[in-house]
Amino acid sequence: MHRSKKILAGWIVGGVAAFACAAAAQPQQATPTAAAPQPSVQLESPAGPAQPPATVTLADAVARAQKINAQYLSVVTDARNAHENTSQARDAMLPSASATSQFLGTEGYGPGPGKPTIGRFVTNDGVHVYEDVGVFKQDLSPGTYLGTGYNSAKAAEALANAQAEIARRGLAVTVTSAYYGFAAAQRNYGASQQALSEAQHFLNITQDLEQKGLVAHADVLKAQIQSEQQQQAFDQANLAMEDARLNLSVLLFPTLNENFTVVDDLDAAPALPAFSEMQDMAGKNNPDLRVAMEALREANVAVTVAKGAFLPSFSVEADYGIQANSFALRSVNVEFPEDGPLPNLGYFLTATATIPVWDWGALRSKLHQSENNQEQARIELSQTQRQEVANLYAEYNDATVSRNAMNTSRQAASDAAESLRLTELRYQAGESSAVDVVDAQNTLTQARTAYDDAQVHYRVALATLQTLTGPF
pLDDT in tens, 254-278: 988 888 999 999 998 899 999 999 9
**Average pLDDT of 329-342?**
80
State the average pLDDT for the chain: 85
pTM for the whole structure: 0.77
Quick check: is 167 in a domain? yes
Taking Cα atoms as reference points, which of 143, 150, 161, 167 lies closest to residue 85?
150
Quick check: is 23 in a domain? no
Domains: count for the chain: 2
What is the structure's pLDDT at 171? 96
Quick check: is 67 in a domain? yes
Instruction: Examine the domain organization and report whether 323 and 370 are in the same domain.
Output: no
The span from the CA of 213 to the CA of 228, in Å, is 24
Q: Is the pLDDT of residue 143 over 90?
A: no
The CATH number of residue 101's host domain is 2.20.200
Instruction: Examine the domain organization and report whether 235 and 369 are in the same domain.
Output: yes
CA distances to 77, 86, 88, 90, 154 from 81, rounded to whole Å, are 6, 9, 10, 14, 12
Which residues touch 453 (CB under 8 Å, ≥6 apart)? 184, 409
Instruction: Examine the domain organization and report whether 446 and 468 are in the same domain.
Output: yes
Quick check: is 458 in a domain? yes
The CATH number of residue 255's host domain is 1.20.1600.10
Alpha helices in 93-147 (DSSP H): 142-145
Instruction: Examine the domain organization and report whether 425 and 291 are in the same domain.
Output: yes
451 is in which domain, residue-wise?
Answer: 58-93+147-310+364-472
Residue after which a domain boundary falls, among 290, 322, 355 = 355
Lowest mean pLDDT among 221-225, 267-271, 301-305, 324-328: 324-328
What is the structure's pLDDT at 84? 95
CB atoms near residue 389 (< 10 Å): 16
DSSP 32-86: --SPPP--SSPPP-PPPPSSPPEEE-HHHHHHHHHHH-HHHHHHHHHHHHHHHHH
Quick check: is 205 in a domain? yes
Instruction: Examine the domain organization and report whether 194 and 331 are in the same domain.
Output: no
Residue after which a domain boundary falls, among 355, 389, 417 = 355
Which residues touch 149 (CB under 8 Å, ≥6 apart)? 89, 92, 93, 143
Q: Is the pLDDT of residue 369 over 60?
A: yes
What is the structure's pLDDT at 107? 64
Instruction: Examine the domain organization and report whether 318 and 173 are in the same domain.
Output: no
The model's pLDDT over 239-259, given as tens digits with 9 standing for 90+, comes to: 999 999 999 999 999 988 888
What is the structure's pLDDT at 247? 95
Which residues touch 295 (CB under 8 Å, ≥6 apart)? 159, 377, 380, 381
Quick check: is 47 in a domain? no
- What percentage of residues in the chain have a pLDDT greater than 70? 86
Q: Would you place residue 44 in the very low, low, confident or very high pLDDT band (cuts 50, 70, 90)?
A: confident
What is the structure's pLDDT at 121? 55
The model's pLDDT over 411-449, given as tens digits with 9 standing for 90+, comes to: 999 999 999 999 999 998 888 899 999 999 999 999 999
Lowest mean pLDDT among 94-108, 220-234, 438-452: 94-108
Query: Where does residue 264 rank: exposed (0-12), middle (13-18), buried (19+ CB within 10 A)?
Result: middle
